[in-house]
Amino acid sequence: MLLMTLVLAAAPMNTKPIEEALTKQFGEPQRARVVQGVRQVAALWRKEDGDLAAFAKDNFIVEQKDLDATFARFEANFEQLDGHLLEIGRELQKPTALDVGPLLKVDPLFAEYDPSAHLTEDLFNNKLGFVVLLNFPLTTLEQRLAAKDWSRQQWAAARLAGRFSRRVPAAVQQEITSAQAAASLYIDEYNVWMHHVLAETGERLFPRGKRLISHWNLRDELKAQYADKDGLARQRTIIKIMERIVTQTIPASVIDNPTVDWNPFSNTVVAAAPGTVEEDAPKKKAQAASTKPEPDVRYARLLANYASQKKADPFSPIAPTAIDRAFSIGAEMPEARVKELLESVLASPLVPKIAAEIEKKVGRKLEPTDLWFNGFLPRGSIPEKELDAKLAAKYPNAQAFAKDIPRILQGLGFPADRAKYLSERILVDPSRGAGHALQAARRGDFPHLRTRVEKEGMNYKGYNIAVHELGHNVEQVFSLYDIDHTLLAGVPNTAFTEAIAFVFQAKDLELLGLGKPDAEAERLRVLNDFWMTWEIAGVALVDIEVWHWMYDHPKATPAQLRAATVEISKKVWNKYYAPVLGGKDTPLLGIYSHMISYPMYLFNYPLGHLIAFQIEEQVKKTGKIGPEIERMSKFGAVTPDAWMLNASGEPVSSGPLLRATEAALKK
C-alpha cells in the first residue's frame, strides 16, 4: 500500500502557474532555468512535501556567484556525509568481511544494516534534494554521451543533480542492502575442502589443508594445474564441482566441511577417516555424511537480490528496472552497445585460431577446462607449489604485504615519492573471503585492501588477487585525493577500476622477479588478454539473460530460477564455446559468484579487459604504468568514452584488442 501511495503522489502536476510566477519575479532570462528546475522538482514532489510554489519562490537561486557558492557547499558536505556513512558501514561489516575470528549471531545483522539507507530520503524530506533539483539541471544519458566541451564544474554539477534523479524510500534501499549482505556472506563462506574431494576413480588428488572458495579459488586452482603434467584429472574434478554448484546437486554436507569425503562424479558422500581430517580446520557444527543436495540456497539469494531491486523500480522513472539502472546509470553505456562489444569478441573468427595454438601447447583436443587456459603467461609454466612457498615466506601475514607496497608500486613505475604517498593511504586487512578493495569517500579516510592470507602465509592465489585489488586502491586514492571535484571522485563505471586492476594483476610475477617480458612474451600476453575476454564475455551474457528472465517471470521460485539459469548457461555455451571446447550442454558459465552477491556486475569484467588493453597500449607509449595511471585516474567519473578519449585518444572499443590479436597470430 505504501508503494502505491508514493507512486500516485508523484503523478504529474500542472506547473505552468508556478513557472510563470517565477519568471515574472526573476526575469525573462531565467525562464529556461525556472521551467526545467520546477518540472524536475514536481516530478518527485509529494503532497506531504507541502506548497511547491512557496518552496520554489524561496529557494530558486538567481545570481551565479550564489549558485557557485551553493554548489561548493553541497560538494563539501556530501564528501563528509558519504565518507563518514561509508566508514560506519565498513566497521559494522568488519566481522563478516574480515578474518577476525568466529562470527557471532549478531554480526550478519549488523552487516545488513545500511547507515546510508535513509540519506537520500532524509535529504528530500528536509528539502535539500529539491534545492538541488530546482537549481541544477538533470541530464539524460544521451546528453552526457554527446557532451564534448563541458567544463569540469558542469560535469560535477551533473553528478550532483544525478544524485536526486530518483526518490527510493529508505525502507526499500535498506532491503536492497540486506539482500546483498546476506548473499555476500553466503558466498564468503562457500568453501570446498579439496583433500576430501575424490577423483572419479576414488583417489585423493589434492593436498591436505587446501580449502578453496567458490568460484574464485576453484577457478584459480584449475588454472594452476597447467603447470603440472598430471593436472588434467584435477582440472576435470574441479569442473565437475563447478557443475554441481550451478545445478545445486552439490550435497549440502560437503560445503565447508572437512569431515566428509565427496566424489563429485558419482555424487557420493562418506565420513572421512579420522586421520585424514585437518586438525586446524575451523570448528563448525558437525554435519553427517549425506548426499542431500543444497536446497537451492544459491538461487534463493539471487531471487532475494532481484526482489529487493524490483521494489526500487517504481521510484526510478529514468531507469525503471535494475537492468536499466546497471547500464544507463551504473555503466552509462547502453545495454545494446555493451552486448555488441561482448559479441564482437565471442563470435570473432580469431577464436578458433587461438584455440589451435592452445591445442599445440596442451597436446590434446580442447575441453571445457580450457575455458581458463593459463599457459600463455609465464605463471602458467611455474608449479604453484613453488610460488606458494616463495610467497608464504615473503608474506606470512597481511601486514607483511602492506609493508611491501612501496616496493611493489616502484616496480610498476611509480616514483618513490608517489609510491610512499599511495602506500600511506592504503590499509591492508585479512579477508574472510577471496579478497576485495573497499574505497574511501572522504579525504582523511583511506581505501582498504582486503586479502586472503592462510594460516601458513599468503599463497599465490591470495597474492594474485591482492595485486589486482591494489590496482583498485591506487585508482581510489588518486580519484579521491587528487581530483579537482569530489563529486567526480572515482571512475566512469566499475569496468574502469577493474581495467586498472587487471593492468596491475598482469605484472604480478614481474614484481616477484619472475617472468621477464620479451617479444614472444608480449605476443602471448595479447593472446591471453583475448582469451580471458572471450571467457568472461559469455559469463556476462548469462548474467544479463538471467536478469531478463527474472523480470519476465516475477513470481519464479528458486527451483525455477535454477532451471532457467542452467538452460541459459547451456544455450550460451553451445552457441559460442562448444564449437571450440566441446562439452555440449555444460552449465559451467553459471558458476561465477558475482551473479549471486553483486547484482548485474559481471559485464564489467569483459569491458574491463577491453579497457585494460587500451590502457596497456597507452602505457606502452611511455614505458611506465605509474604516471599514466595517475593521469588517467585523476580525470574522474565522467562518461566512459570521455574518460577513454582523455586516457588513450579513442573511445571504448574492442577494435584495439581484435587488431592486436590478429597481428599476434600472424607473427
Q: Which pLDDT tens digit goes with each residue over 51-92?
A: 999 999 999 999 999 999 999 999 999 999 999 999 999 999
Residues spanned by the domain of 432: 381-512
Check whether 9 has a pLDDT greater than 90: no
Evaluated on CA atoms 439, 615, 529, 602, the torsion sign reads: positive
Q: What is the pLDDT of residue 439?
A: 95
Check whether 379 has a pLDDT greater than 80: no
Paired with 431 in beta bridges are: 98
Give the pLDDT band of residue 281 (cuts 50, 70, 90): low
Give the pLDDT band of residue 151 (cuts 50, 70, 90): very high
pLDDT digit string (tens) for 543-561? Answer: 999 999 999 999 999 999 9
Q: What is the pLDDT of residue 599?
A: 92
Tell me the C-alpha distance between 434 and 364, whole Å: 32
SS3 state at 193: strand
The residue from 156, 186, 216 where one domain ends is: 186
Q: What is the pLDDT of residue 620?
A: 81
Q: Within 10 A of 236 (CB to CB), how many other CB atoms are there? A: 20
Q: What total number of domains does the chain contain? A: 2
Top-confidence residue, 169 or 426? 426
Do the beta carbons of residue 152 and residue 484 sit within 8 Å?
yes
Check whether 200 has a pLDDT greater than 70: yes
- Terminal Cα distance for the chain, rounded: 66
* Nearest residue to 246 via CA among 546, 582, 10, 501: 546
* Least confident among 115-124, 251-260, 610-619: 610-619
Average pLDDT for residues 613-627, to the nearest whole number?
86
Q: What is the pLDDT of residue 434?
A: 78
The rounded mean pLDDT for the chain is: 92
Tell me the C-alpha distance between 321 and 548, whole Å: 10
In a domain, 424, yes or no: yes
Strand 448-451 relative to strand 427-430, pairing: parallel
Per the structure block, which three cell numbers stand in for 421?
604517498
pLDDT digit string (tens) for 141-150? Answer: 899 999 988 9
In a domain, 360, yes or no: no
Q: What is the pLDDT of residue 288?
A: 76
In a domain, 533, yes or no: no
> Structure pTM?
0.81
Q: Within 10 A of 59 (CB to CB), how many other CB atoms are there? A: 16
Tell me the C-alpha distance between 364 and 368, whole Å: 12
In a domain, 414, yes or no: yes
Give the pLDDT band of residue 310 (cuts 50, 70, 90): very high
CA distances from 52 to 5, 61, 135, 236 (A): 19, 15, 14, 66
Check whether 157 has a pLDDT greater than 50: yes
Question: Which residue intervals of 31-101 are DSSP H helices?
Answer: 31-44, 52-59, 64-97
Which helix H or strand E contains 605, and what residues bound it? helix 604-622
Average pLDDT for residues 255-266, to the nearest whole number?
95
Q: What is the pLDDT of residue 3?
A: 28
Q: What is the pLDDT of residue 4?
A: 28
In a domain, 591, yes or no: no
Check whether 11 has a pLDDT greater than 70: no
Tell me the C-alpha distance between 627 and 644, whole Å: 16
Tell me the C-alpha distance between 481 and 336, whole Å: 35
In a domain, 83, yes or no: yes
The residue from 512, 531, 558 where one domain ends is: 512
SS3 state at 456: coil
Give the pLDDT band of residue 403 (cuts 50, 70, 90): very high
SS3 state at 514: coil
Do the beta carbons of residue 634 and residue 478 sit within 8 Å?
yes
Tell me the C-alpha distance between 445 and 83, whole Å: 7
Do the beta carbons of residue 539 and residue 371 sit within 8 Å?
no
Do the beta carbons of residue 251 and residue 294 sit within 8 Å?
yes
Check whether 510 has a pLDDT greater than 60: yes
Check whether 232 has a pLDDT greater than 50: yes
In a domain, 529, yes or no: no
The residue from 512, 535, 564 where one domain ends is: 512
In a domain, 214, yes or no: no
Percent share of the chain, pLDDT over 90 = 81
Check whether 338 has a pLDDT greater than 70: yes
> 506: which DSSP letter?
T
Q: What is the 3-state secondary structure (H, E, C) of 521-558?
A: HHHHHHHHHHHHHHHHHHHHHHHHHHHHHHHHCCCCCH
Paired with 165 in beta bridges are: none
